[in-house]
Each structure stands twice: as structure tokens, then as C-alpha cells.
Amino acid sequence: MTFAHFLDTAPDVTSFAKNYLAVGFHLDYVKADGDLSTYTPDFIVKTTDNTVWIIETKGREELDLPQKMARLRQWCDDATAAEDRKVVYRYLYVDQPGFEKHPPKSFAGLAAGFTEYQEART
């Protein structure tokens, strides 16, 4: 099952979009070597609880992944604060081999199963 097909059939997903360069949603971040770079997350997902999720899917872990996830965490926190918490932005890293081996039945199951790069939220 492809990730897009999963999102299309997940009962708790109200809408999603594949983010690609023409959409124009990207983040600047500092790479592991200190250089500035641009990062384009893979998917934007809205769930039935009105949370907007920014999703990164990867087939293999790369050197700059921790920096990308830290920047994405910061962006989600800033965007949520700017919306005065009317809209909550969250992020999720999904490793493709894990997703293929244990496909979830719902987006909530996906979020519960893929917690790498997540910090405890209060």
C-alpha cells in the first residue's frame, strides 16, 4: 500500500495533499555541516480533530534528518501559536520500511506507532 493510498482510506483523515515544489511549502534549515538548505516535507494532512499534520516519509535515514525534524517541530509550534491554537500543527516522521511492515488502520494508529523525533507534549 502506498502512503497516499493509506491517507485516502484512513477514516480519521479529512483531507491531504502531496507537497511538491510547485506547492511552495518549504522550510529553511541548517544542515549538519552548518550550511543553510531548503527542506520540502512530503505530505500535508488534516485529521477529523482539525489537526494539521506535516509528514515526512523516508526510505532510509539521512544525515540531516534530525535537523529537518527539529526545524519542522519549530515551524509547527510557531504556526500553532500564530493561530492562537485555533488550528494545531503537528509533525510526523514515517519510515517507509516500518510503514510497509506494519501498516496502521487509522491516522491515529500511525501517529501512535511512529514517534521517532517526537517530544512529550503537555
And the C-alpha cell for 69? Answer: 525534524
Q: What is the pLDDT of residues 4-36, one digit of tens each?
A: 999 999 999 999 999 987 788 999 999 999 999
Q: How far is CA 57 from CA 29, 81, 99, 114, in A?
A: 18, 25, 9, 11
How would you classify the pairing of strands 13-18 and 27-30?
unpaired
DSSP β-ladder status, 51-58 and 88-95: parallel
Q: Write the pLDDT tens digit of every residue in 72-89.
A: 999 999 999 998 878 999
